[in-house]
Amino acid sequence: MTKKLSIEEIAEIACPAVITISGFSQDLQIMKKFENKIGGASGFLVSSDGYIVTSSHVVADQKADYQAVLEPTKKYPVKVMSRDPLNDIAILKIDGEKLPFIELGDSSKIKLGEQVVAVGNPLGEFYDTVSAGIVSGLARLINARNSSLDKSTRLKGLIQTDAAINPGNSGGPLINMQGKVIGINTAVVSGAQNLGFAIPINYAKKDLKEVMKYGKIRRPFIGIKYIIINKEIADQNDLPVYHGALIIRERLGEEAVLPSSVAGKSGLKEFDIILEVDGDKITEDNYLSDILERKEIGEEIELKVLRKKKIINISLKLEEKN
């Protein structure tokens, strides 16, 4: 059994690897601080050669340049290797050797009520802030809002904790008592106390592995625009089912199905409703994007499709999203 560490020992391991991330806007030529509901300016080193894990919303501005601050006197330019807004994860890289880093744990083994430690740099100013608590809930689903981009993100499978997670230290690690990262602190609920959320670290492991191997995150792609059907949408639009992905364009002038994509080549059409993928039912709790994320590029899948009150089956091979 792995030795249980004290909070002091965990702080000694984690703090040197937790960094502050700041952005420099090319448009406004001003330093930007991330001070929004799910915003943050923290991240953590996961390798001695400079790979960093943080939240995608921390580096959401694609026009900005970013830097990592390890100490007040140690600042490094950051290369954003990948952004995964679906899971609110980003992988960054700085050039360095023998950098301090923290090991990744296994978030599938988290137990309700176990002790955890959150580390971060709230508001990018209060370095090495450590707070302790427990895992208060598992597999939570929330809609987190990034006020700086005026966007909401649906985050699933989250770890709920009462360890203090403040605006500004999201992107930092949630650590178990063996000193390993089990989550990425990502969101706080405005107006609530002792209610923070972290992305399971296993979500980031796949991203990190792909970035290290390919230099980017690869995602399965079929090439459609869609909305997820629920009872309200079905009733409002006189649809015959209360679940599935309705293929429909978001705005005039765009394609609902990209002609050159596997969806276009396989014969999918606007107003088709994809009900299932390989027998996996599409619902509000199980988006089409969730299902595709569990698939591999090049894998052949079978779709159960409702077209004009008739069920048809369509097979296609998943492509890489460019």
Do 198 and 282 have their domain in common? Answer: no
Do 226 and 211 have their domain in common? Answer: no
Q: Can you give the CATH number for the domain in which 254 is found? A: 2.30.42.10
For 49-82, the pLDDT digits (tens) are 999 999 888 888 888 888 888 877 788 899 999 9
Distance CA 155, CA 182 (A): 16
For 212-239, the pLDDT digits (tens) are 988 888 888 899 999 999 999 999 999 9
User: Count of domains in the chain?
Assistant: 2
pLDDT of residue 141: 74
Do 158 and 210 have their domain in common? Answer: yes
Average pLDDT, the chain: 84
Residue 133 confidence (pLDDT) above 70: yes
- Model confidence, pTM: 0.76
Do 226 and 91 have their domain in common? Answer: no
For residue 70, what are the domain limits? 1-216
Neighbour-count burial for 4-41, b at 16+ CB within 10 Å, e otherwise: ebeeeebbebbbbbbbbbbbeeeeeeeebebebbbbbb
Do 11 and 121 have their domain in common? Answer: yes
Least confident among 34-48, 161-175, 179-193, 264-278: 34-48
pLDDT of residue 80: 93
The mean per-residue pLDDT over the stretch 81-98 comes to 89
Q: How confident is the model at residue 88 (pLDDT cuts 50, 70, 90)?
A: confident
Long-range contacts of 72-75 (CB under 8 A, 24+ apart): none
Q: Which of 216, 245, 274 is the last residue of a domain?
A: 216
Q: How confident is the model at residue 145 (pLDDT cuts 50, 70, 90)?
A: low
Do 115 and 8 have their domain in common? Answer: yes
pLDDT of residue 36: 34
More confident residue, 269 or 146: 269
How close are the terminal C-alpha atoms of the chain, in Å? Answer: 44
Do 225 and 167 have their domain in common? Answer: no
Q: What residues are labeled active site?
A: 57, 88, 170
